[in-house]
Amino acid sequence: MQAIVETLFDAAYLVSVITIGILIIRGSKGDRQFCLAGCMAVVLGAGDAFHLIPRALALCTTGLETYTVPLGLGKWITSVTMTVFYVLLYYVWRQRYRVSGRGGLTATVYGLAGLRVILCMMPQNQWISAGPPLSWGIYRNIPFALLGLLVIVLFYRSAKENGDRAFRWMWLTIVLSFGFYIPVVLWADAIPMIGMLMIPKTCAYVWTILIVYFAMKQECT
């Protein structure tokens, strides 16, 4: 039952975010913020596919234990593409609120993203082992969480200051995604049921993309 339900959910998620991302790009009519947001959605779906497709195959065939290498590689790729997702989201913020300059802020975003990617590349992560160390899972997620927090603050302040109703909940979708993700990083190995929090975490990302899609439909018609 888990295999069927999880596979159907993941398939619906991947198809949805990639399709919506393409629709945003096509409907953007050259508006840079929506072009970036559409690319962001496609990166999200394509990156997650590297982990979710091997997971679906494992659940529907011989089990997760026999797919350790593809699952580990997929998780590694997803970790990098999620970082790219937040960098693109930062640029969506800059375009939407016509932010210029602020080189120090941009340097901070790139610094956190670069540190995250470097930590993800370190062999100590043991991506393709059956028991990767929790400590490195924490290390690589520290700059990622800081990057997410920065984007949360930026969208919260800008949407409030500009009375932006279309993006007024963007900050909350990111808060929810991290709120569901962090317990998985910390405790999923010890308590496997906590891994179920990845479902609402995924829903939070879908909400993020839908916010952009409906804003595009209103502003680019």
Task: Kindly report, residue by residue over 121-153, the tens digit of the pLDDT.
Answer: 999 999 988 888 989 999 999 999 999 999 999
**According to the model, what pLDDT value does residue 58 have?**
86
**Structural domain containing residue 161:** 2-219
**Residue ranges in the chain whose pLDDT is less than 50:** none
- The CATH number given to whatever domain includes residue 38 is 1.20.1070.10
205 membership: H or E segment, kind and range: helix 198-219
What does pTM read for this prediction? Answer: 0.93
Distances (CA, A) of 71 to 90, 99, 120, 192, 198: 29, 39, 15, 16, 15
Residue 221: per-residue pLDDT: 67
> Domain tally for the chain?
1
**Alpha helix ranges (H) inside 97-197:** 103-121, 134-161, 170-187
- Segment 31-45, tens digit of pLDDT: 999 999 999 999 999
